[in-house]
Structure 1
Amino acid sequence: MSIQKQSVSFTDTAYAFAKELVEAGEYPNMSAAVSGELAKAKAERDREQSLLEAELERRLSLPLDQWEPVGDVTAGARAHLAAIAQKN
């Protein structure tokens, strides 16, 4: 794993939270705390995206007589799912 060095600025609240995590022993230093919490945030976003895609697939698989019109959202969802299917 490569390391990228970057100078960043934090709000007082964000800095205090990262500092608390280090002081509580959850991370050995501030860099590890920021990287660890970003990894957790990414994992949560990925999980939410997977849940959304699964729900869209479930709804799109319903018979047409069970659909409720949603407007352009359905067309966009179909295009998104088709793009994902082409990648796989």
Structure 2
Amino acid sequence: MSVHKQTVSFTEAAFAFAHDLVKQGDYPNVSAAVSGELAVARRVRETEKALLEVELERRLQLPSDQWIRVDSAEQLTAGARAYLAGLDLPE
């Protein structure tokens, strides 16, 4: 496997996380921790994308009488907006 050397900057929290992974013995050094966690993130994204594609395909196979008509984006998001309006969210 080839290696590409690159200088990068991290927030204190991100560096501390990588350093903690090394201290726990998950990786031999910070560089390996960053590379390893990027590989984990990539697999997670690929899995989420595949699951979304499968779900979209499943829904596209539904008979037309099971589809819900949506006339506008506001109609589509009305339930979520109402739910969020009821939450005590920080600004």
Quickly name the TM-score band, shorter chain normalised. Answer: 0.7 to 0.9
Structure 2, unpaired ranges of 5+: 73-91
Divergent runs of 4+, >2 A: 69-72
Comparing both structures, which one devotes a greater share of its residues to helix?
1
Alignment of 1:29-48 (within 5 A): 29-48=29-48
Instruction: Please name the residue that 1:62 is paired with.
Output: 62
- The alignment's C-alpha RMSD in Å is 1.7
Give the total of aligned pairs.
Answer: 73
Q: Distance in 1 between matches of 2:12 and 2:71?
A: 43
TM-superposed deviation, 1:69: 2.7
Instruction: Please name the residue that 1:25 is paired with.
Output: 25
TM-superposed deviation, 1:49: 0.3
Structure 1, unpaired ranges of 5+: 73-88
TM value normalised by structure 1: 0.77
TM value normalised by structure 2: 0.75
Higher Cα Rg, which structure: 2
Q: Secondary structure at the match of 1:9?
A: coil
TM-superposed deviation, 1:38: 0.3
Higher relative contact order, chain-length normalized (CA < 8 Å, sep 6+): 1
- What is the percentage of aligned positions where both structures have the same residue? 62
